[in-house]
Structure 1
Amino acid sequence: MRLNKTIAFATLLTQLVFGQNNTTIIRNLDPVSEEYTFPEIQTAPKTKIGEKINIFLQLHYLQHLPGVFKKTPFEKVSYNSPENQGGTYLFYGWTKEDTPPNVLSLTMSTEFSGAYIEGYETHENYDLRTGNYLLVTDIIRSEKHTSLAQQVNTMVKKEITAFLSETKKNLAEIDSISQRELFDRYQEQIELYENCLSDYTEYQLGDFDYYFTKNQLHLLRGRCSSHVNRAVDDLYQFDLPFSYADLLPLLSDYGKNVLYDTPIKNYNSAQPIGKMFKGKIGNNAVTFVLPNINYDNSLTITYWYDKYKKPIECHGTFKDNNFYFREQSADDFSGLIGIIEADWNNGTIKGVWINHKTKKEYPIVLMTY
């Protein structure tokens, strides 16, 4: 099932979202061009919410904190820019989905140019009451993660199987000489989807991309094709919609609160993932961002000293409410700089940052921001 959604350049310079006790304004980040149309969020009177969402967005896509750049906010992802540290990214536009009042769901039209050019859409989802990431693993009860993922995997395989059967039927009905081009296309499609089924990886719930609309959660499964055979992939990305009504028995208390405004004591999710934290390492003020976690408990976090605002990536694990991260040198050649060991407990992260060379320990205390 192809996700047919066209995002025009600068379709709307401003969108207003009215939520509970807060107004959200979404504009294009300056400077705007056909190649760089990127959302910037403002919220009032709770300005912190917009601040957090902009940090999440710009750190992930533009590789810097808001306002921290030399000439342009796109310099680290622009072609031929001296600040570029990898491939080139283009941002052709964005749309805001029509969602329940507590939800912000953005679709980004992006293109990456590295070894080859690849266009794709990404989806960003936030709780508009907190500015935190809105994670599908938070809104679905943990004991229902596996069954929902299995349901989606089954639906995808059923769609591939049906298309494969129809394509084989079509192939048998055409002439391989007079309709050679179509004949070859059918053969390529059969090979593509047979390989896709034979090598099918069972996604877990956290593996799916997703976005929210007014009455549905859409779970997305990546396409079967690679860049080289993308042209024959008629199924492309799989978009599986689930109505909130059908999901109601699977929703966590937090999920019901986000989508239906049912009463809850604390509408922050129970896990630290998808959140931002502020606190100190030793005597130095720091900010931490924990975007997501993999099913093997591995994750990458970003933190920075508030005085310098230079993002530092750390790779590690989160298991049994315990964090373990390794901080490498920025050039990846100078080796290990430090180790973070900390525990998560009721909205607080406490632990130590250990200097690898001197073994000196600096206390870490972080609170949910």
Structure 2
Amino acid sequence: MKYNLILMVLLCYSAVGTAQLKVEKVYRKQNAYNRMTSSFPVFWVSEDSKVSNAVNQFLQMNRLGLLVGKEKEHVFEKDWPQEDRFHGRQSVDYRIIENNKAFLSVELNEEFMGAYSSYSTDHENFDLRNGEVVYLPDLFTVDGYEIFKKMINNERKLSLQAAIASSYQGISEILKEIQASNDESLIESLKSDLEDSYDEVSIYEDCIKTIEEYSFSKEFCLKKEELVVYRGRCSNHALRALDAIGDFENTMKYSLIKPLLSKYGLNLLFDEKPGDFETHYSEKIFYGHIAEKYPITLVLDKYSDEYVSGVYLYNNIGRTIHLSGEAKGNGLVLSVYNENDDNTGEFSLTVSDDNKSIVGVWTNTEGKSLKVELKRRGK
């Protein structure tokens, strides 16, 4: 399998005025199977290389599965197609949404191959004062975040209610056509449409009932003057193809949500009350050792109160290993999986109350345990 790998050096800043971060390099590769081209940026900032290093390390660990410089042939070598693998990512591309002195927002578009092709659009938002990923709940006070979620969910409920009303209008029109027609084949076709319309209403009603159960702490984008929260179609809509709404995209002006923001949120979005603020461990970079002699880097991603996934790597190897498991309070139990999805061990970890350190043990499948100690970057 041959790939064309082009390394392009860009000497210009992104299109957003006097941006703090600069795109230093773009790696490009054309997939020989489908001729799609992937592109991936490497950032640089003259004021503080630690910031750009943190941004690059997070993106490379989570999107490439390896650190640049640790690839065997090219930085996209973990993408599909590969021998003995019938699924995986086919391509990735990026777009800078916002790049100012406070934060960077990057959109990542990916295509995957499995039983069928699928696409995803994600956003990563970085605090450019320290290079850390912005975790949405950290922008708000505890009460403010609950109010913010209700605001978003109420907007989505209104969209669903409008869709239900539109579906019932369509049902009314179909019933009129059935009553007015003497064509049996047309009537059968209209009855099929009628059944689909009732199913569509039922699915929308189910969405309204469960909308508050959906976590959107990851799917957001920081823009210049507004926060945008995304949600993809629910599985029932996607599988049945009965949906007139599509993805949700809800926008809130910073000026509107300002009373709900935490001190950290005010500092980031309005440059108010500078200081060292406590933020959550999710999507932050931790450095440390296993058994005090094997240097590792870890990034965890807390999807919900109970579920955590992540990646880690041995610094000398620079290729990620996947983790997933449960969170109970500050305790984490994470299974380790290799590239073949084989379970190779387990981490039992405890996060400190201030989210600045992690300690625990790593245990392999034979029961051998080693001590783990990690500290958050810059903390």
CA contact 1:13–1:28 (8 Å) conserved in 2: no
Per the normalisation by structure 2, the TM-score is: 0.79
Q: Which amino acid aligns with 1:244?
A: Y
The one of 44, 52, 55 equivalent to 2:54 is 52
SS in 2 for 1:310: coil
Looking at structure 2, the residues matched to 236 and 190 of structure 1 have their Cα atoms a distance apart, in angstroms, of: 18
Structure 2 residue aligned with 1:104: 104
Deviation digits for residues 308-360 of structure 1 (CA, Å, limit 9, x no counterpart): 22322233344443444344566555x55343333425464252324454554
**Is 1:366 matched with 2:368?**
no
**Equivalent pair of 2:80/2:87 in contact (CA under 8 Å):** no
1:321 to 330, 334, 356: 330
Q: Could you tell me how far apart the structure 2 residues matched to 1:103 and 1:32 are?
A: 31
CA displacement 1:294-315 (0-9 Å, x = unmatched): 3233212322221222322233
Distance in structure 2 (CA, Å) of the matches to 1:44 and 1:298: 34
Which protein is richer in helix relative to its size?
A: 2
**Counterparts of 1:172 and 1:163, CA distance in 2:** 14
Alignment correspondent of 1:150: 150
Q: Is the 8 A contact 2:90 2:113 kept in 1?
A: yes
CA contact (8 A) 1:26 1:42 kept: yes
Q: How has the CA–CA distance of structure 1 residues 88 and 336 changed in structure 2, closer, same or farther, with 3 Å as cutoff?
A: closer
Identify the residue that residue 320 of structure 2 maps to in structure 1: 311
Q: Which residue of the other structure, out of 236, 240, 247, is the alignment partner of 1:229?
A: 240
| Alignment correspondent of 2:21 | 23
Within 5 A, what are the aligned runs for 1:345-360? 345-346=353-354, 348-356=356-364, 357=366, 359-360=368-369
For 2:99 and 2:201, the matched residues in 1 are separated by 34
Report how many aligned residue pairs link the two structures. 353
CA RMSD of aligned residues (A): 3.4
Alignment-derived partner of residue 255 in structure 1: 265
CA gap 1:170/1:126 in 2 versus in 1, 3 angstroms: same
CA contact (8 A) 2:288 2:372 kept: no
TM-aligned CA distance change 1:106 to 1:47, over 3 Å: same
TM-score, structure 1 length as denominator? 0.81
Are 1:145 and 1:204, in contact at CA under 8 Å, matched by a contact in 2?
Answer: no
> Which deviates further from its counterpart, 351-360 or 244-253?
351-360
> C-alpha separation between the residues in 2 aligned to 1:86 and 1:165?
40
Structure 2 unmatched ranges of 5 or more: 1-7
1:218-273 residue CA offsets vs partner (Å, 9 max, x unmatched) = 1112224544433x533100111111011101111111111111122115x42222
Q: How does 1:64-143 map to 2 (within 5 A)?
A: 64-79=66-81, 81-82=82-83, 86-91=87-92, 93-98=93-98, 101-143=101-143
Report the AA paired with residue 160 of structure 2.
I
Contact 2:21 2:52 in 1 (8 A): no
Distance in 1, Cα, partners of 2:344 & 2:27: 36
